[in-house]
Protein backbone atom coordinates (compact mmCIF):
# COMPACT_ATOMS: atom_id res chain seq x y z
CA UNK A 1 0.00 0.00 0.00
CA UNK A 2 1.46 3.38 -0.99
CA UNK A 3 1.88 6.29 1.48
CA UNK A 4 -1.30 7.91 0.11
CA UNK A 5 -3.29 4.71 0.74
CA UNK A 6 -4.54 4.76 -2.83
CA UNK A 7 -4.80 2.06 -5.45
CA UNK A 8 -6.77 3.93 -8.13
CA UNK A 9 -5.73 6.99 -10.11
CA UNK A 10 -7.94 9.30 -12.13
CA UNK A 11 -5.74 11.42 -14.40
CA UNK A 12 -7.48 14.62 -15.51
CA UNK A 13 -6.09 16.34 -18.59
CA UNK A 14 -7.30 18.58 -21.37
CA UNK A 15 -7.34 17.34 -24.95
CA UNK A 16 -4.53 19.69 -25.96
CA UNK A 17 -1.79 17.95 -23.94
CA UNK A 18 0.73 16.19 -26.23
CA UNK A 19 -0.03 12.50 -26.59
CA UNK A 20 3.47 11.38 -25.56
CA UNK A 21 3.13 13.20 -22.20
CA UNK A 22 -0.24 11.58 -21.57
CA UNK A 23 1.06 8.12 -22.54
CA UNK A 24 4.14 8.36 -20.30
CA UNK A 25 2.06 9.51 -17.33
CA UNK A 26 -0.71 6.94 -17.72
CA UNK A 27 1.86 4.15 -18.06
CA UNK A 28 3.71 5.29 -14.92
CA UNK A 29 0.57 5.29 -12.76
CA UNK A 30 -0.68 2.03 -14.27
CA UNK A 31 2.32 0.31 -12.73
CA UNK A 32 1.06 1.07 -9.22
CA UNK A 33 -2.71 0.93 -9.53
CA UNK A 34 -5.82 1.00 -11.68
CA UNK A 35 -5.51 4.10 -13.84
CA UNK A 36 -8.12 5.98 -15.88
CA UNK A 37 -7.83 9.07 -18.08
CA UNK A 38 -10.49 11.78 -17.99
CA UNK A 39 -10.29 14.44 -20.70
CA UNK A 40 -12.03 17.79 -21.10
CA UNK A 41 -11.80 20.52 -23.80
CA UNK A 42 -8.95 23.02 -23.34
CA UNK A 43 -9.39 26.71 -22.65
CA UNK A 44 -10.47 29.21 -20.02
CA UNK A 45 -14.08 29.03 -21.21
CA UNK A 46 -14.31 25.46 -19.89
CA UNK A 47 -13.03 26.41 -16.44
CA UNK A 48 -16.43 26.26 -14.76
CA UNK A 49 -18.63 24.14 -12.52
CA UNK A 50 -20.20 22.28 -15.43
CA UNK A 51 -16.78 20.87 -16.37
CA UNK A 52 -16.11 19.94 -12.74
CA UNK A 53 -19.47 18.23 -12.46
CA UNK A 54 -18.97 16.31 -15.71
CA UNK A 55 -15.54 15.08 -14.57
CA UNK A 56 -16.92 14.03 -11.17
CA UNK A 57 -19.59 11.95 -12.89
CA UNK A 58 -17.03 10.34 -15.20
CA UNK A 59 -14.79 9.52 -12.25
CA UNK A 60 -17.64 7.84 -10.39
CA UNK A 61 -18.66 5.92 -13.51
CA UNK A 62 -15.08 4.64 -13.74
CA UNK A 63 -15.18 3.38 -10.15
CA UNK A 64 -13.69 6.23 -8.12
CA UNK A 65 -13.87 5.59 -4.38
CA UNK A 66 -12.14 6.75 -1.19
CA UNK A 67 -8.91 5.01 -2.22
CA UNK A 68 -8.69 7.02 -5.44
CA UNK A 69 -6.22 9.84 -6.10
CA UNK A 70 -6.99 12.66 -8.53
CA UNK A 71 -4.05 13.59 -10.76
CA UNK A 72 -3.89 16.93 -12.60
CA UNK A 73 -1.84 16.63 -15.79
CA UNK A 74 -1.64 19.98 -17.51
CA UNK A 75 -1.45 23.71 -16.93
CA UNK A 76 -3.12 26.04 -14.47
CA UNK A 77 -6.66 25.57 -15.78
CA UNK A 78 -6.35 21.79 -15.50
CA UNK A 79 -4.84 22.09 -12.04
CA UNK A 80 -7.71 24.23 -10.77
CA UNK A 81 -10.39 22.02 -12.29
CA UNK A 82 -8.80 18.80 -11.02
CA UNK A 83 -8.28 20.43 -7.62
CA UNK A 84 -11.99 21.15 -7.43
CA UNK A 85 -12.78 17.54 -8.36
CA UNK A 86 -10.35 16.22 -5.73
CA UNK A 87 -11.72 18.47 -3.00
CA UNK A 88 -15.37 17.70 -3.72
CA UNK A 89 -15.48 13.96 -4.39
CA UNK A 90 -16.04 12.02 -1.15
CA UNK A 91 -15.40 15.35 0.64
CA UNK A 92 -11.74 15.16 -0.30
CA UNK A 93 -9.50 12.75 -2.22
CA UNK A 94 -5.67 12.83 -2.42
CA UNK A 95 -4.60 15.37 -5.06
CA UNK A 96 -1.46 15.11 -7.22
CA UNK A 97 -0.12 17.86 -9.50
CA UNK A 98 1.96 17.12 -12.63
CA UNK A 99 2.35 20.51 -14.37
CA UNK A 100 3.05 20.59 -18.10
CA UNK A 101 3.55 24.35 -18.49
CA UNK A 102 6.22 26.58 -17.02
CA UNK A 103 3.72 28.92 -15.42
CA UNK A 104 1.92 26.02 -13.74
CA UNK A 105 5.21 24.59 -12.45
CA UNK A 106 6.36 27.98 -11.15
CA UNK A 107 3.05 29.40 -9.95
CA UNK A 108 -0.30 27.64 -9.76
CA UNK A 109 0.81 24.29 -8.33
CA UNK A 110 2.37 26.12 -5.38
CA UNK A 111 -0.94 27.62 -4.29
CA UNK A 112 -3.57 26.00 -2.07
CA UNK A 113 -6.31 27.83 -4.00
CA UNK A 114 -8.58 25.75 -6.22
CA UNK A 115 -11.18 27.68 -8.17
CA UNK A 116 -13.23 28.07 -11.32
CA UNK A 117 -14.94 30.94 -13.08
CA UNK A 118 -18.56 32.03 -13.00
CA UNK A 119 -19.72 34.29 -15.81
CA UNK A 120 -17.57 37.41 -15.83
CA UNK A 121 -15.84 36.62 -12.53
CA UNK A 122 -12.55 34.72 -12.49
CA UNK A 123 -11.79 32.10 -9.82
CA UNK A 124 -14.84 33.24 -7.86
CA UNK A 125 -15.98 29.70 -6.94
CA UNK A 126 -13.63 27.45 -5.02
CA UNK A 127 -11.83 26.61 -1.82
CA UNK A 128 -8.41 25.93 -0.34
CA UNK A 129 -7.20 22.39 -0.87
CA UNK A 130 -3.61 21.14 -0.57
CA UNK A 131 -2.02 18.75 -3.06
CA UNK A 132 -0.33 15.73 -1.52
CA UNK A 133 2.34 15.54 -4.22
CA UNK A 134 3.71 17.94 -6.85
CA UNK A 135 5.92 16.37 -9.51
CA UNK A 136 7.66 18.62 -12.04
CA UNK A 137 9.04 16.63 -14.97
CA UNK A 138 11.38 19.09 -16.68
CA UNK A 139 11.45 17.12 -19.93
CA UNK A 140 7.71 17.85 -20.31
CA UNK A 141 8.50 21.57 -20.39
CA UNK A 142 11.19 21.48 -23.06
CA UNK A 143 8.68 20.87 -25.83
CA UNK A 144 6.65 23.97 -24.94
CA UNK A 145 6.30 26.67 -27.63
CA UNK A 146 8.15 29.93 -27.03
CA UNK A 147 4.97 31.74 -26.11
CA UNK A 148 4.24 29.31 -23.24
CA UNK A 149 7.79 29.67 -21.95
CA UNK A 150 7.42 33.45 -22.08
CA UNK A 151 4.17 33.20 -20.14
CA UNK A 152 6.00 31.41 -17.33
CA UNK A 153 8.81 33.96 -17.42
CA UNK A 154 6.26 36.71 -16.80
CA UNK A 155 5.63 35.01 -13.44
CA UNK A 156 9.39 34.92 -12.86
CA UNK A 157 9.59 38.69 -13.48
CA UNK A 158 6.67 39.31 -11.13
CA UNK A 159 8.37 37.39 -8.32
CA UNK A 160 11.65 39.25 -8.78
CA UNK A 161 10.00 42.67 -8.76
CA UNK A 162 7.43 42.06 -6.03
CA UNK A 163 9.17 39.64 -3.65
CA UNK A 164 12.87 39.04 -4.36
CA UNK A 165 14.37 42.20 -5.91
CA UNK A 166 17.72 41.37 -4.27
CA UNK A 167 17.92 38.39 -6.65
CA UNK A 168 17.53 40.59 -9.73
CA UNK A 169 21.13 41.07 -10.79
CA UNK A 170 21.96 37.44 -10.10
CA UNK A 171 19.27 36.20 -12.48
CA UNK A 172 18.99 39.07 -14.97
CA UNK A 173 21.31 37.44 -17.49
CA UNK A 174 19.05 34.40 -17.56
CA UNK A 175 16.35 36.35 -19.39
CA UNK A 176 16.31 36.17 -23.19
CA UNK A 177 13.74 37.10 -25.80
CA UNK A 178 14.31 33.91 -27.80
CA UNK A 179 12.86 31.83 -24.91
CA UNK A 180 15.22 28.99 -25.82
CA UNK A 181 16.21 27.54 -22.45
CA UNK A 182 18.22 24.54 -21.37
CA UNK A 183 16.73 22.20 -18.79
CA UNK A 184 18.96 23.53 -16.02
CA UNK A 185 17.88 27.10 -16.84
CA UNK A 186 14.21 26.15 -16.56
CA UNK A 187 15.02 24.56 -13.22
CA UNK A 188 16.61 27.83 -12.11
CA UNK A 189 13.44 29.74 -13.06
CA UNK A 190 11.21 27.30 -11.17
CA UNK A 191 13.44 27.28 -8.08
CA UNK A 192 13.37 31.09 -7.79
CA UNK A 193 9.58 31.10 -8.14
CA UNK A 194 9.28 28.43 -5.46
CA UNK A 195 11.54 30.44 -3.16
CA UNK A 196 9.46 33.57 -3.75
CA UNK A 197 6.13 31.88 -3.10
CA UNK A 198 7.33 30.05 -0.03
CA UNK A 199 8.80 33.27 1.35
CA UNK A 200 5.34 34.84 1.56
CA UNK A 201 3.14 31.74 1.98
CA UNK A 202 5.10 30.15 4.81
CA UNK A 203 3.30 32.30 7.38
CA UNK A 204 0.26 33.12 5.25
CA UNK A 205 -0.77 29.92 3.41
CA UNK A 206 -4.27 31.18 2.61
CA UNK A 207 -2.95 34.42 1.10
CA UNK A 208 -5.05 36.66 3.32
CA UNK A 209 -2.34 39.09 4.41
CA UNK A 210 1.15 39.78 3.01
CA UNK A 211 0.97 36.79 0.62
CA UNK A 212 -1.64 38.72 -1.35
CA UNK A 213 1.43 40.17 -3.09
CA UNK A 214 1.14 37.07 -5.31
CA UNK A 215 -1.93 38.82 -6.80
CA UNK A 216 0.27 41.64 -8.12
CA UNK A 217 -0.87 42.47 -11.65
CA UNK A 218 -3.99 40.32 -11.36
CA UNK A 219 -6.64 43.05 -11.08
CA UNK A 220 -6.29 44.24 -14.67
CA UNK A 221 -4.69 40.95 -15.76
CA UNK A 222 -7.70 38.80 -14.87
CA UNK A 223 -10.00 41.17 -16.77
CA UNK A 224 -7.78 40.97 -19.85
CA UNK A 225 -7.58 37.17 -19.62
CA UNK A 226 -11.35 36.73 -19.34
CA UNK A 227 -12.17 39.14 -22.16
CA UNK A 228 -9.61 37.51 -24.43
CA UNK A 229 -11.03 34.02 -23.84
CA UNK A 230 -7.74 32.39 -24.81
CA UNK A 231 -6.32 35.20 -26.96
CA UNK A 232 -3.75 36.00 -24.26
CA UNK A 233 -2.10 33.60 -21.82
CA UNK A 234 -2.33 33.99 -18.06
CA UNK A 235 1.28 35.16 -17.85
CA UNK A 236 0.84 37.73 -20.63
CA UNK A 237 -2.30 39.07 -18.98
CA UNK A 238 -0.66 39.41 -15.57
CA UNK A 239 2.36 41.09 -17.12
CA UNK A 240 0.15 43.76 -18.69
CA UNK A 241 -1.59 44.11 -15.33
CA UNK A 242 1.79 44.68 -13.67
CA UNK A 243 2.63 47.44 -16.14
CA UNK A 244 -0.65 49.18 -15.29
CA UNK A 245 -0.11 48.70 -11.54
CA UNK A 246 3.44 50.09 -11.78
CA UNK A 247 2.17 53.22 -13.51
CA UNK A 248 -0.50 53.68 -10.83
CA UNK A 249 2.16 53.27 -8.12
CA UNK A 250 4.42 55.79 -9.83
CA UNK A 251 1.59 58.30 -10.05
CA UNK A 252 0.82 57.78 -6.35
CA UNK A 253 4.46 58.26 -5.38
CA UNK A 254 4.90 54.65 -4.26
CA UNK A 255 7.42 53.71 -6.97
CA UNK A 256 10.13 55.85 -8.49
CA UNK A 257 10.22 56.33 -12.26
CA UNK A 258 13.21 53.98 -12.43
CA UNK A 259 11.38 51.27 -10.47
CA UNK A 260 8.31 51.57 -12.69
CA UNK A 261 10.45 51.55 -15.85
CA UNK A 262 12.18 48.39 -14.63
CA UNK A 263 8.89 46.52 -15.07
CA UNK A 264 8.87 47.21 -18.80
CA UNK A 265 12.62 46.68 -19.09
CA UNK A 266 12.55 43.17 -17.62
CA UNK A 267 9.46 42.20 -19.62
CA UNK A 268 11.11 43.42 -22.82
CA UNK A 269 14.13 41.22 -22.03
CA UNK A 270 11.87 38.15 -22.32
CA UNK A 271 10.25 39.46 -25.51
CA UNK A 272 6.94 40.48 -23.95
CA UNK A 273 4.69 42.73 -26.05
CA UNK A 274 1.18 41.39 -25.39
CA UNK A 275 -0.95 44.53 -25.20
CA UNK A 276 -4.75 44.43 -25.57
CA UNK A 277 -6.40 46.80 -28.09
CA UNK A 278 -7.82 50.13 -26.99
CA UNK A 279 -11.27 48.89 -28.06
CA UNK A 280 -11.27 46.63 -24.96
CA UNK A 281 -11.16 49.58 -22.56
CA UNK A 282 -14.88 49.70 -21.71
CA UNK A 283 -15.11 45.94 -21.30
CA UNK A 284 -12.05 45.84 -19.02
CA UNK A 285 -13.67 48.47 -16.79
CA UNK A 286 -16.80 46.33 -16.55
CA UNK A 287 -14.79 43.26 -15.56
CA UNK A 288 -12.91 45.22 -12.90
CA UNK A 289 -16.22 45.64 -11.06
CA UNK A 290 -16.24 41.85 -10.52
CA UNK A 291 -12.64 41.42 -9.42
CA UNK A 292 -12.31 38.62 -6.85
CA UNK A 293 -10.37 40.80 -4.39
CA UNK A 294 -13.55 42.69 -3.52
CA UNK A 295 -14.32 42.39 0.17
CA UNK A 296 -10.75 42.41 1.52
CA UNK A 297 -11.76 45.91 2.56
CA UNK A 298 -15.07 47.76 2.61
CA UNK A 299 -15.72 48.94 -0.94
CA UNK A 300 -15.12 52.60 -1.71
CA UNK A 301 -17.40 53.95 -4.48
CA UNK A 302 -15.52 55.28 -7.50
CA UNK A 303 -12.40 53.30 -6.62
CA UNK A 304 -10.94 49.88 -7.48
CA UNK A 305 -8.86 47.70 -5.14
CA UNK A 306 -5.28 46.97 -6.25
CA UNK A 307 -2.25 45.15 -4.93
CA UNK A 308 0.46 47.81 -5.26
CA UNK A 309 4.15 47.98 -4.47
CA UNK A 310 5.63 50.67 -2.23
CA UNK A 311 9.15 50.18 -3.48
CA UNK A 312 10.33 46.96 -5.13
CA UNK A 313 9.76 43.95 -2.91
CA UNK A 314 7.52 45.90 -0.53
CA UNK A 315 3.74 45.63 -0.48
CA UNK A 316 1.81 48.85 0.04
CA UNK A 317 -0.55 49.07 3.02
CA UNK A 318 -3.53 51.36 3.37
CA UNK A 319 -5.84 51.56 6.38
CA UNK A 320 -4.35 48.35 7.78
CA UNK A 321 -4.95 46.44 4.54
CA UNK A 322 -2.70 45.25 1.73
CA UNK A 323 -5.36 46.31 -0.78
CA UNK A 324 -5.07 49.91 -1.96
CA UNK A 325 -8.13 51.65 -3.37
CA UNK A 326 -7.34 53.67 -6.48
CA UNK A 327 -9.53 56.29 -8.15
CA UNK A 328 -11.18 54.79 -11.22
CA UNK A 329 -10.03 57.78 -13.29
CA UNK A 330 -6.38 56.96 -12.53
CA UNK A 331 -7.01 53.29 -13.28
CA UNK A 332 -8.47 54.16 -16.70
CA UNK A 333 -5.64 56.57 -17.44
CA UNK A 334 -2.96 54.00 -16.58
CA UNK A 335 -4.53 51.22 -18.67
CA UNK A 336 -5.05 53.53 -21.62
CA UNK A 337 -1.46 54.77 -21.39
CA UNK A 338 -0.07 51.27 -21.91
CA UNK A 339 -2.59 50.41 -24.62
CA UNK A 340 -1.59 53.51 -26.58
CA UNK A 341 2.19 53.58 -26.05
CA UNK A 342 3.13 49.88 -26.21
CA UNK A 343 3.47 47.72 -29.33
CA UNK A 344 0.56 45.38 -29.91
CA UNK A 345 1.01 41.63 -29.86
CA UNK A 346 -1.48 40.33 -32.40
CA UNK A 347 -2.30 36.69 -31.79
Question: Could you give the residue numbers annotated as active site?
Answer: 113, 215
- Of the candidates 241, 248, 216, the residue with the CA atom closest to the CA atom of residue 313: 216
Q: What is the pLDDT of residues 256-308, one digit of tens each?
A: 999 999 999 999 999 998 999 999 999 999 989 877 666 566 777 899 999 99
Q: How far apart are CA 98 and CA 223, in angstroms?
A: 27
Q: What is the pLDDT of residues 65-109, one digit of tens each?
A: 999 999 999 999 999 999 999 999 999 999 999 999 999 999 888
Q: How far apart are CA 336 and CA 334, in angstroms?
A: 5
Q: How far apart are CA 346 and CA 245, in angstroms?
A: 23
Distances from the Cα of 285 to the Cα of 144, 275, 294, angstroms: 33, 16, 14
Q: How confident is the model at residue 4 (pLDDT cuts 50, 70, 90)?
A: confident
Q: What is the pLDDT of residues 269-281, one digit of tens each?
A: 999 989 999 999 9
Q: What is the pLDDT of residues 141-158, one digit of tens each?
A: 988 999 999 999 999 999
pLDDT of residue 178: 87
For residue 215, is pLDDT > 90?
A: yes
Domains for the chain: give ranges and CATH numbers. 8-141 (3.40.50.1970), 146-341 (1.20.1090.10)
pLDDT of residue 323: 93
For residue 180, is pLDDT > 80?
A: yes
Amino acid sequence: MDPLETDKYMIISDSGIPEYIVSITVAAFAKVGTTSLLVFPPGEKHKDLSTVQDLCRKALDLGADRRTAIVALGGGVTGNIAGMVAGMLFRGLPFIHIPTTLIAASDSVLSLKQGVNLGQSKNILGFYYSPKVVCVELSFLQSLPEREIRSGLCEFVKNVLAILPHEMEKHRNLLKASCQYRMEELQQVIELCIEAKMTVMRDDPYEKNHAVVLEYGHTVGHAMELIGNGKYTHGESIAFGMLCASTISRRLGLLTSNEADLHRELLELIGFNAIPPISWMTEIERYLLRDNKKGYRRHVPGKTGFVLLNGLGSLNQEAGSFITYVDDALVRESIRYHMETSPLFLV
